[in-house]
Amino acid sequence: MRLLKKPLLMRGELDYGGADKLGKRVEQPYRETTMIAGASVDVQREGRTPRRFSLDRAPELQALLVGFSALLGGDAVALGKFYTVSLVDKATNWTLTLTPREPALTKHLREIVVDGTGNESQCFSLHQADGDASVMLLGALAATKLADPPTLPALAEICHRIAP
């Protein structure tokens, strides 16, 4: 991330409650719970007063979360509304690339890449327009030992990314 000297590393749990319910719990290096229900987001951090804000204040954030939720829920129609979807697969591994349709979204987000094997998503990567990126390793991959600092190509390798 361009503001930072080296990438941030966090560990935690994702909790998908169906439709528009999504929870994220960070356990390390600090503790934070984010709950998204409908249009409102609740953020609770240890030792601070909880915050609540509305997704509508940030349409680009909403598109992102709708996309994520549609992906987890397997809702191809909702996904297609916001993104053009391309899929490549090789043997049991696959890579799904989502490119946002709306100009408001492309201004910030270049693409979302999901890597998986069989029925399972393993990596969820956000590539932003300014070159910053975040990579989420899911399931078994979450236990992977990472280099310090981790680099994007190294992470792509771990995710078994298939170049388009």
Partner 1 sequence: MSTPRRIVFVVAWWLLLSALAFVVRRDLVVDSDLRSFMPPARNADQKLLLDEIGNGPASRLLLLGISGAPPERLAALSHGLARTLRNDPHFARVLDGETDAVALDPALLPYRYLLSPTLDKVALDTTFLRDQLEQRVEDLSSPAADMLKDLLPRDPTLEVLALAQRWTPAKVPLTRDGVWFSPRGEALLLAQTHAPGFDPVAQAEAINALQTAFAVLPDFAAAQLTISGPGYFSVRVGESTRAQAEWLSAFGSLGFVALLLLAYRSVGVLVLAALPLASGALVGIAALILAFGSVHGITLAFGFTLLGVAQEYPIRVFSHRRTDADARTSVREVWSLLRLAIVSACIAYVAFFASGVPGLQQLAVFTITGLLVAGAATRWLLPAVLPVHFRDAAESRGLEPTRAWLAALPRPRWLPWLLFALALALLWLAPTPLWQNDLAALTPVPPALLAREGELRDALGAPDVRYLLVLDAQTADDVLRLSESISPQVEQLISAHAVDDVELPSRYLPSLATQRARQATLPNRATLTAALDAALQDLQFQPGLFAPFIEDVETARTLSPLTPAEFARSPFGARLEAMLVPRDEHWLGLATLTGVHDPAAFAALAASNAGQVRLLDLKAASEALIAQYRERILQALGVALLLLALTVAIAFRDLHRAWHVIAPMSLATLLVLAVLRISGVSLSLFHLVALTLAAGLGLHYALFFERKVENAAEARRTLHATLVCVISAVLVFGLLATSTLPVLRAIGLTVAMGVAFHFCLSILMAQGSQES
Contact residues: partner 1, CB under 8 A: 1-6, 8, 10, 26, 30, 32, 34, 39, 43, 45, 48, 54, 56-61, 64-65, 108-109, 128, 130, 132, 134
Residue among 96 and 109 whose Cβ is closer to partner 1 = 109
**Residue with token string 């503790």:** 31
109 near 126, Cβ under 8 Å? yes
**CB closer to partner 1, 75 vs 132:** 132
- Residue number with CB closer to partner 1 (113 or 117): 113
Shortest distance (Å) from residue 121 CB to partner 1: 17
> Which string of b and e fits 45-61 if b means at least 16 CB within 10 Å?
eeeeeeeeeebeeeeeb
Give min distance, CB of 91 to partner 1, in A: 32
Whole-number minimum distance, CB 89 to partner 1, in Å? 27
Closer by beta carbon to partner 1, 39 or else 154: 39
Backbone angles phi, psi at 70, to 5 degrees: -65, -35
Half-sphere exposure of 122 (CA within 13 A, CB side): 20
Q: Which H or E run contains 105? A: helix 103-106
Q: Please, what is the minimum distance in Å from the beta carbon of residue 117 to partner 1?
A: 25
